[in-house]
Each structure stands twice: as C-alpha cells, then as structure tokens.
Chain A
C-alpha cells in the first residue's frame, strides 16, 4: 500500500515539473517509433506481427492522427462535427487531382488541399455558427455538407466520377521514389511519415491547449453565452477551430491517397468514414490530448484484426465491430482516459467498505 502511495506521490511531483509533458511525449512517441520492431519480437514462438501487421499499425496511426485533428474542433470547442469526411476527401481528391493533371508535387498539393479544406470548413462554420445551430442540428448539418460532396464528386466527370483516381508514379511528376516524391516502395517509411504527422498535430494540439486559445475553446465548450458575456469572441474562435481541424484532416486525406493507390468517392467520402475519423477520439476521451491516440490503438486493431480473421463469413467482422462500438459507448461514456481514475474510485470504494466492516466488527 505504502509503495503504491509513494509511487503515486513521486509521479505527482514529476507531473508538476515543467519538463513533464516533454518527457511524456518523448516516451510515447519513442514507444510508437519502436513499435514496428516490437511487433516482430518472438514471444513463445508467436510473432505479434502475424496478426498485428505493419499495415494495421499504419491505419491505427492514420486514425489517431485524424481523431487528433477532429479533436481540435469538436473535442476542445465542443462543436460536434459529424462531417469530417468532407475535409478528408477534399485532401485526398485535391492532392490526386493536382498530381494527375498538373503533375504537382504531392507535398505542395497536400498544402493546397489543406487550404481548400480549411476554406470549406470556414464556409460550413460561417453558415452554421452564425445561425447558432446546436447539438443534433449541428451534427446533421456537418453530415449533410460531407454527403453533399460525395454526390457532387460522383456526378463530376472532371473528378473521374465514381471511378476515382489511381495514383500516378513518381516519374510522372518528375521525382524518384523517396521522401520528396511522398512515395516509398515499402511500408516502413510510410509508418514513420504518418507518425511524424501525428507528432506535428499532437504538438499543435498541445500548444493550443496550453495557450489562451485553448482557454477560450474550453470556455466556449462549457457555456458559450457565459464565455461571450465575459468577452470571448466565440464566433471567431470557433471559426479558428474549424479551420485548423479541417486543414489537418485534409493532410490526413492526402496521406491516405498516397498510401493507398486508389481513391473513390465511396471510400474517402463514405458515410461511415465520418465515424471512423472521429471514433478514436470518442473512445479515448474527447477533449484530451492522449485520448485520440489511445483510442485508435483500441478501435482500429479490433476492426482490422476482425476483418482479416473472419474472411470466410463476409460481414461477421462488422457485427463484432458494431457490438464493440455499442459496448464501448455504454460502458465507457467518458473514454478510456477515465479508466485509471474510475479504477481508483472503485478501489477506494472497496477499501472503504472493508474498513467499515472492521469498524463494525
């Protein structure tokens, strides 16, 4: 007991230090960077990599990244967006369109895509915030803006309609395979690239959270009219939240289009993509920095492993995934990050009933 207490005490001391977030970040990302090698370690003749492949890891980090980007808008300012597939799809399509038609380097195309997505986000924000759409109405409006794009793209022959794009080879845009071309011939560099993306968005997220911007965001989330009454420019800061979130989500879409060779409206703009993009944040704990990352490491492997394990019965994996979704929101409505404190509360309750019994005896 006392050892647990002292460990917790020293952790609290460490937590108070200014360098604590830095140490935690290095530890977390160091672990993530080592993960591709960890999964190849033999444990009692079984390789973790057999089920948890590098591809699954990449997907996991992609969704951690998108959830982190979603979190900036929806977790921090409390404006629950259900249409982030719009930004994701814009990112994928703008990058590929510029690549295919203008042979523009994907890094440049990605930034252009990010700006377009931020613009679309500002349009959505301008319309919905000005009319003070709340709750379900806001969620449905964002969903409509995303679904709108899906049907627009399907019907536009200029964007290859329902067929989508195949990624051109690097030589088609005057580059060799490598970092500059945003294309690699193996999966490992792709993993470190998306990990870098995640690091950047997490850093930005941390900076926002620890500045006056984050303070304003949280004030808006808790009580918008109260925040406005003490001088928080709510509209402007909500717009900022959407733009930043849309920009980074689009970069995720651009990465997606470069990693998977082909994009189609019913993959990047899919109705269910809206859920996949935000789910890790909700599972992990919306509004927290670590939540989206932890959440993705819970949700994505379950979905992917189920998909590869139950290939003989088409659809069984989705039943498992659906049941998992229902279970997680019922039993953990505040996210996985609340588990330690919940466990502690449970432990304290158990202990207090014990001591009560002692007193009674």
Chain B
C-alpha cells in the first residue's frame, strides 16, 4: 500500500476554511457600521448593472409569459445586439447610439425568423423539445458569430468619461445604458397597457384559449411577442456594449442571470423583472467586491433555488404582464 501523507489531505471547510465566508461578512458589517463611502459607490454600480439586467429579463419574461417557452437563445440575442452596435460604429463610422435602434430592428426580424422556423412548429410539443430547439438555435447563432467575427473580445470605441457625484464615481457609458434600459422598459409598459395590440398580448398571456375565443389571432401575437422579446434583448445587448468588452460567449452569464430574475420577479411580471434585476445586480456588485472569485454567482443561484422553493410564482407573481 502506498504511503498516505496525512498533511496533504485537506478537508473542505476545516482549518481556516470558514474564514472565506466570515471574513467578507465581517468586512461588510464593519463597512456598514462605519458608513464607508464604498457602500454608496457599490450601490451606484449595482443600480447601473441592475438596469440592464432588468431589460434583459424583460424580453425573456414576455416570451415566457405569453408562450410558456423557455428561450435559451435569449442570451445569444443579446450578443447579436452587441455585435450589431459594434459593426455599425466600426464599419460606418457613426455613433454607437445610432446602432441601438438598428439592433432593435435586426433582433426583431431575427426573433420572428427564429420563432417561425423553430418555436412555432413545436409550441404544443413536450416542453423539453422547445428547450432543445432553442438550445440548437443558441449553438447555431453563437458559432456563426464566432466564425464571422472570431472568438476574440471586441469593444465599441467610445470614450464617454465619467461623472463625479458627491464622491461617487459614475461611468457615463453605464449611466447611458441605464437610461436607455429604463426608457425602453417604460415604453414597453406604455405599449402593453395602452395600445390595443398590447392589450391583446396581455390577454393572450392571461389565457390563450380565452384569447382565441374572443377573436385574437394568437399565432400573430406569438410571433410579435417573440420578435419584441428578441428586440428587447437586442437593445439590452447594445447598451451593454457601450461600457463592456464582449465576445461570442458573453451571453451565457446574462442568460442564466435573466432566468434567475424572471423566476425571482415572477413569471411575466413587469415590476418583478425590474426589482429582480436590481436585486441580482446588487448581489453581483456587492458579492464581487467582498467575496473571492465568482462566489457571488453561488449566492445568486442560492437565491434562485430559495425563490423556487418558497415562492415559485415569484415576488410579483400573478401581477400584470
């Protein structure tokens, strides 16, 4: 038998293993007690990040709410938005801000195409088939981007500088992204609440059969919703591109966090997407600051599981679409 060196054997969470959880907590509590300026800064960053997360989740929750489909391609829709803005500003030499509405249009068309080709034929099939189909779409689009634009990270050339408000540092790129996200969300809310088409979408989300009985063309609502959901992802991606480097695989983290937000906030819920986005944004910023590595993501998953267990309908479950 080989010699076993006991000193090499390490057990998790023993001999200082707990420090990694207690130390950040102690640090966090001390900062709160001292009203450290860093807290305000982190709050600002959390708010800025939460805004774009909320917009990402909004598109997903609309598709989820109206069609009961989990769209795994949502993250890669975001990435298409990023590359659209980048391409527009690189090749045409115009402002990346012009690229944002272009991204919305591109993504709307892409969304409708994806819906008609892959989702519509299997809307009534077992849910795992929809899941696999949208995963297939994810692979196709992601790899196509990788082939055309290489897997290297890209960046939109934009030097916006930053603001200094009472000791809090605010990068302007992120601020504009937040404003765009909030504006888009308000516009979508107005559309859903006060236009005839918006009301039809909400009606379909409430009750598909009922909607059919009162003469709503559910098929048309489906592809409109998928298109709008994809367009929202496009705007979200485009505004993220204003302040962040990206590559063809950036969408994965946003996709997973968007799922968390959708469940956290409540399926198809508008305020839920907003509040959920803020919560996840805050956890990521605070966790990223206090906790080592990507431990913050562990917290987000624990929150996700906790929500599913305690209140699967989400914080704002059953609210309006």
A: residues with CB less than 8 A from B are 80, 82, 101-103, 127-128, 131, 133, 135-137, 139-141, 143-145, 147-148, 151-152, 154-156, 158-159, 161, 172-174, 271-272, 275, 278-279, 282, 286, 313-316, 318-319, 321-326, 329-330, 333
Contact among B125, B137, B301, B305 for A151, CB-based, below 8 A: B301
Distance in angstroms between the alpha carbons of A330 and B124 in the assembled complex: 11
Instruction: List 8 other contacts, CB 8 Å, given A155-B295, A330-B122, A333-B126.
Output: A103-B1, A131-B312, A148-B305, A158-B10, A318-B139, A318-B142, A319-B140, A322-B136
Query: Contact at B2–A173, with CB atoms within 8 Å?
Result: yes
Contact among A144, A173, A282, A325 for B305, CB-based, below 8 A: A144
Distance in angstroms between the alpha carbons of A75 and B129 in the assembled complex: 13
Complex interface: stretch among B24-32, B92-100, B103-111, B144-152: B144-152
Chain B residues within 8 Å of A319, by CB: 139-140, 143-144, 147
Distance in angstroms between the alpha carbons of A165 and B117 in the assembled complex: 42
In the complex, per-residue mask of B130-143: 1 if CB is within 8 Å of any chain A CB, else 0? 11110111111011
- In the complex, B194 has a CB within 8 A of chain A: no
Query: Contact at B139–A80, with CB atoms within 8 Å?
Result: no
Contact among B8, B121, B293, B304 for A330, CB-based, below 8 A: B121
Chain A residues within 8 Å of B161, by CB: none
Which parts of B241-293 form the interface with A (CB within 8 Å)?
Answer: 252, 256, 259-260, 263, 292-293
Q: How large is the interface on B (under 10, 10 to 19, 20 to 34, 35 or more residues)?
A: 35 or more
Distance in angstroms between the alpha carbons of A141 and B144 in the assembled complex: 30
Question: A132: nearest residue on chain B (CB-CB)?
Answer: B312
Distance in angstroms between the alpha carbons of A20 and B4 in the assembled complex: 52
Distance in angstroms between the alpha carbons of A141 and B68 in the assembled complex: 16
A165 CB to nearest B CB, Å: 14
B15 CB to nearest A CB, Å: 10
Chain A residues within 8 Å of B126, by CB: 333
Query: Contact at B308–A137, with CB atoms within 8 Å?
Result: yes
Query: Contact at B118–A326, with CB atoms within 8 Å?
Result: yes
Chain A residues within 8 Å of B132, by CB: 275, 279, 282, 325, 329
Chain A residues within 8 Å of B10, by CB: 101, 158
Question: B312: nearest residue on chain A (CB-CB)?
Answer: A137
Chain B residues within 8 Å of A324, by CB: 136
Chain A residues within 8 Å of B139, by CB: 318-319, 321-322, 325
Contact among B12, B294, B304 for A154, CB-based, below 8 A: B294
Contact among B133, B144, B292, B309 for A155, CB-based, below 8 A: B292
Query: Contact at A325–B133, with CB atoms within 8 Å?
Result: yes
Query: Contact at B143–A102, with CB atoms within 8 Å?
Result: no
Query: Contact at B301–A314, with CB atoms within 8 Å?
Result: no
B261 CB to nearest A CB, Å: 12
Given contacts A158-B11, A282-B132, A326-B137, whether A139 and B4 have CB atoms under 8 Å apart is no
Chain A residues within 8 Å of B144, by CB: 315, 319
Contact among B68, B135, B294 for A136, CB-based, below 8 A: B68
B291 CB to nearest A CB, Å: 8
Which parts of B1-50 form the interface with A (CB within 8 Å)?
Answer: 1-2, 4, 8-12, 17
Contact among A131, A148, A172, A325 for B298, CB-based, below 8 A: A148
Question: B313: nearest residue on chain A (CB-CB)?
Answer: A137
Interface of B is mostly: helix
Contact among A102, A148, A154 for B4, CB-based, below 8 A: A102
Question: A78: nearest residue on chain B (CB-CB)?
Answer: B126
Contact among B252, B260, B305, B310 for A145, CB-based, below 8 A: B305
Query: Contact at B127–A318, with CB atoms within 8 Å?
Result: no
Given contacts A137-B312, A141-B308, whether A333 and B125 have CB atoms under 8 Å apart is yes
Query: Contact at B128–A139, with CB atoms within 8 Å?
Result: yes
Given contacts A154-B293, A330-B118, whether A148 and B143 have CB atoms under 8 Å apart is no
Question: A101: nearest residue on chain B (CB-CB)?
Answer: B9
Q: Which 10 A-B pairs have the closest CB atoms?
A: A322-B139, A325-B136, A315-B143, A322-B140, A326-B136, A148-B301, A318-B143, A322-B136, A329-B129, A315-B146
- In the complex, B112 has a CB within 8 A of chain A: no
Distance in angstroms between the alpha carbons of A314 and B151 in the assembled complex: 9
- In the complex, B302 has a CB within 8 A of chain A: yes
Contact among B2, B122, B252, B301 for A333, CB-based, below 8 A: B122
Chain B residues within 8 Å of A143, by CB: 259
Query: Contact at B143–A139, with CB atoms within 8 Å?
Result: no
Chain B residues within 8 Å of A172, by CB: 2
Query: Contact at B295–A326, with CB atoms within 8 Å?
Result: no
Query: Contact at A275–B2, with CB atoms within 8 Å?
Result: no
Question: A143: nearest residue on chain B (CB-CB)?
Answer: B259
Chain A residues within 8 Å of B54, by CB: none
Query: Contact at B263–A137, with CB atoms within 8 Å?
Result: yes
- In the complex, B70 has a CB within 8 A of chain A: yes
Chain A residues within 8 Å of B256, by CB: 147, 271
In the complex, per-residue mask of B294-321: 1 if CB is within 8 Å of any chain A CB, else 0? 1101100110110011101000000000
Question: A81: nearest residue on chain B (CB-CB)?
Answer: B128
Contact among A139, A159, A313, A318 for B70, CB-based, below 8 A: A139
Distance in angstroms between the alpha carbons of A151 and B1 in the assembled complex: 35
Query: Contact at A80–B4, with CB atoms within 8 Å?
Result: no
Chain B residues within 8 Å of A173, by CB: 2
A142 CB to nearest B CB, Å: 10
B103 CB to nearest A CB, Å: 22
A79 CB to nearest B CB, Å: 11
Distance in angstroms between the alpha carbons of A321 and B140 in the assembled complex: 8
Given contacts A80-B128, A101-B8, A271-B252, whether A316 and B301 have CB atoms under 8 Å apart is no
B147 CB to nearest A CB, Å: 5
Chain B residues within 8 Å of A82, by CB: 128, 131
Query: Contact at A133–B128, with CB atoms within 8 Å?
Result: no
